[in-house]
């Protein structure tokens, strides 16, 4: 979605969703009518997967049959990579798993303008990757 205008930092100066309200109980500022929930914390198991340290950029991708996969990168030395949480259509967690490992300074995890997972900026090792829509 394109926004007209912007700030000196390249951020939009308005949003089609409304102004941000003060932070909620999770520390997230959202427009009126939106809610947040914590779905993972570093080193805690979620969907059968121990969530990675230092979660950074992220993005969501629809999966066939309903639901979506949330990808989150981790920039932790050579143990970095990308973790995935797959959600059912009712927003319950289906599974958690790693889709990329052995990277450093991945700096993304979100989607490209084509709706595909972003590419690493630099990799410390070859890493390994699987499709983000797989079931674990």
Ordered mean pLDDT values, 10 residues apiece, the chain (136 residues): 44 76 94 93 94 85 91 79 92 92 65 60 43 42
pLDDT value for 127: 44
pLDDT value for 55: 86
- Indicate if the alpha-carbon torsion angle 23, 25, 27, 31 is positive or negative: negative
For 27, the token pair is 């520390």
Q: Establish if 4 belongs to a structural domain.
A: no
94 lies in which domain range? 45-129
CB atoms within 10 A of CB 78: 13
What's the pTM value of the predicted model, to 2 decimals?
A: 0.69
Q: Establish if 49 belongs to a structural domain.
A: yes
Q: Establish if 120 belongs to a structural domain.
A: yes
pLDDT value for 105: 64
pLDDT value for 136: 40
Q: Establish if 84 belongs to a structural domain.
A: yes
User: Within 13 A of 116's CA, how many CA atoms are on the CB side?
Assistant: 4
**Residue that has been written with the tokens 């959202």 in this structure:** 30
Count the domains in the chain.
Answer: 1
pLDDT value for 76: 78
Q: Establish if 34 belongs to a structural domain.
A: no
Beta bridge partners of 98: 83
Q: Establish if 10 belongs to a structural domain.
A: no
| Alpha carbon 63 to its chain's center | 15
């Amino acid at each position: 979605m394109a926004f007209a205008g912007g700030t000196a930092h390249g951020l939009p100066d308005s949003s089609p969703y409304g102004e941000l309200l003060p932070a909620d109980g999770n520390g997230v500022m959202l427009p009126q009518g939106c809610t947040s929930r914590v779905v993972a914390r570093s080193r805690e198991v979620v969907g059968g997967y121990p969530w990675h340290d230092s979660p950074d950029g992220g993005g969501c991708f629809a999966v066939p049959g309903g639901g979506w996969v949330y990808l989150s990168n981790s920039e932790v030395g050579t143990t970095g990579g990308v973790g995935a949480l797959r959600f059912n259509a009712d927003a319950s967690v289906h599974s958690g798993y790693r889709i990329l490992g052995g990277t450093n300074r991945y700096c993304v995890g979100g989607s490209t303008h084509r709706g595909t997972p972003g590419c690493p900026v630099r990799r410390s090792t070859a890493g390994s990757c699987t499709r983000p829509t797989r079931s674990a």
